Structure formats: C-alpha cells, structure tokens
Amino acid sequence: MALTKQEWLELEKQAHELRKLCLDTTYWAGSAHIGGGMSVMDMLTILYYKYMKYDVANPQWEDRDRFILSKGHAGVALASLVCHVGFDDKEKLKTFNLSNSTMGIHLDSNKVKGVDASTGSLGHGLSIALGTALAAKVLGKDYKTFCILGDGECDEGSNWEAGMAAAHFKADNLISFVDRNKCMIDGRTEDVMKLEPLADKWRSFGFIVKEVDGHNFNELADAIDFALENKGAPVMIIADTIKGCGVDYMEDDYKWHYGALNEEKYELAKASLEKYYAKRVARAEKEGI
C-alpha cells in the first residue's frame, strides 16, 4: 500500500535527521565510511520507522524483527540509527572510532545495543540472516529478518552459497536488499568486477527480485509490502542508490567510500544536506497521496 503523504514526510524527516547524525559522527570521528552510510540510510529509515518490531527497552526481545547489516562497514549509519531510535546513547557517537570506544567502524553486537550481528567481513550477513530466519521457523515465531548487502560485497562467493540455500529452504521470512550504489573501494563496481546482470543473478538463484529507487520511500514501501506478503521464496530488493547520497560533493564518487572531513567540508556537507532535504520534501509533497 502506498505511503500516505504524512508517513512519507515523517520518513523524510527521520532520514534527514539520520543523515545529519551520520555526518556529525563522521566529523567527530575524523573519518568514516560515510559514502555507503549515506546510500543505505533510506533503507534503514523505512525499516526502523515503518516496518520493524522492536523494543528499545529490551533489545534482546525474542520476538523482535531482526536486522543484519551485511555491509558492516556502514556501521556509522547503523550506529547513528540505533542511537537515534533509542537503543543506545547518542553521546556515544562522539566516541565513534576513538580508542576504547564501544563503537568502531564495524559494530560489535555484544557492545552496541540494538545491533543484531557483528559484521564487517563481507559476504557473511546473508548467511547469518538466513540462519536467523530459519530459526524463526524452527521456533514457531513470526518475526521477520531483514538484511542489507553492499553491491561490491556481492563479489563474495559466500553470498551465493547463502542465496542458493535461502531459496532451497524457502526462506520467505527473509527480506534482503542490495545497496546498489555502484561503487566500491577501488572504483566503479562494473570496472572492478562486473556484477550485471545482478537482478538476473539473484533471480536465477531462486529469489523474487524487486528493483526500486533506493531513495524513494514510496518505492521502497511497495517492495517491502510485497515481500512481507510473499510466500514460498526469499525476496531480494535491489535498491538503486547513490553513494554519499545528500552530500553533493560526495555523490556517486567511489573515492568517498571512506573519507575524512575537515571543518570546511563538514560545513559544506551540512548545507548540502539541507538542500537535499528540501528537494526530498518537495517530492513527497508532490507525489504523496
């Protein structure tokens, strides 16, 4: 079901707050994986602000929906999110990446509240998510498991082991995304290691694939609604995204996979995020019902 205009605008507001928090955290830390953090942010926002069941007072609630950030290097985005929704203390973001902090580049699920898996070594998350999803079936629980993979991460063979198994075991309670920002550390994904036709690859592994604009909440909502109703097969939502989304000088530039911010860049980024938010609000106002 399409988002109401009010819902859409609320999601835009939360995504904007999260982008600002992600930027601040990167600035406080000196540097972080801000490019992929910004590309994945709208997916995180809609999952945590519209779809997922969780209890910030009881992070280990056994009936909660689970979220596995397979592209664990986007920890700066997830850290911002778990603090923003209230799992963990926002003040801790000021220690991000600093010595003896509980929050490093790749979040430790035993140290950061609300984080369901310690990821960072790429190609692990989909397997963990599949195990989590199949456990729900064994335990007779109806929680859902969500997983976001990076696109460059799809180079890892273990994803395809997990994909084969997800279809084989009919893990229809597993809803996955590829953050298709088309960039990886050393360059464009298609230059470093060709991924296309990526949707066909996942389809051939037994997934139902939805391709959406990863920065359009209405399209994301449609795809997630479909996935939640779907029976018999896992769903892969390939979200077309922009690396560094919202910060004009970072956008679509693989060099911003990991980057440092000085005062000048920080201020430019803040101004850019405000302009970007205004554009997003205008779209929601225009297209929302």
Partner 1 sequence: MAGGLTYTATESTAFSTAEIYGKALCELGEKHPEVVALTADLGKSTKIGMFGEKFPDRYFNVGIAEQNMFGMAAGMARAGLVPFLSTFSVFASLRSADQLHTDICYQNVNAKIIATHAGTSFGQAGSTHHAICDMAVARSIPNLTVICPADGLETYNAVHAAYDNFGPYYIRINRGFDRVLYDSTDYGFEVGKAVTINEGSDITIIACGSCVFQAYQAAKFLETNDGLKVRVLNMHTIKPIDREAIVKAVMDTRRIITAEDHNVIGGLGSAVAEVIVEAGKGCAFKQLGIPDKFAPIGLHEDIMSSLGIDQNGIIAAVREVMGKDFELDDDWDDEV
In the complex, which residues of this chain contact partner 1 (CB under 8 A)?
Answer: 62, 66, 68, 108-110, 116-118, 120-121, 123-136, 138-139, 145, 157-158, 161-162, 164-165, 168-169
CB 134 within 8 A of CB 126: no
43 contact partners, CB below 8 Å, separation of at least 6: 148, 177, 179, 214, 220, 239
What's the min distance (Å) between Cβ of 283 and partner 1? 37
Distance from C-alpha of 126 to C-alpha of 246, rounded to nearest angstrom: 27
What's the min distance (Å) between Cβ of 22 and partner 1? 24
255 contact partners, CB below 8 Å, separation of at least 6: none
CB 176 within 8 A of CB 153: no
Burial of 58 (0-12, 13-18, 19+ CB in 10 A): exposed
Of 162, 144, 146, nearest to 154 (Cα)? Answer: 162
What's the min distance (Å) between Cβ of 136 and partner 1? 7
What's the min distance (Å) between Cβ of 124 and partner 1? 5
CB 230 within 8 A of CB 167: no
What's the min distance (Å) between Cβ of 62 and partner 1? 6
What's the min distance (Å) between Cβ of 59 and partner 1? 12
Q: Name which of 41 and 133 has its Cβ closer to partner 1.
A: 133
Distance from C-alpha of 153 to C-alpha of 181, rounded to nearest angstrom: 11
Q: What does the DSSP 8-state code read for residue 70? A: S
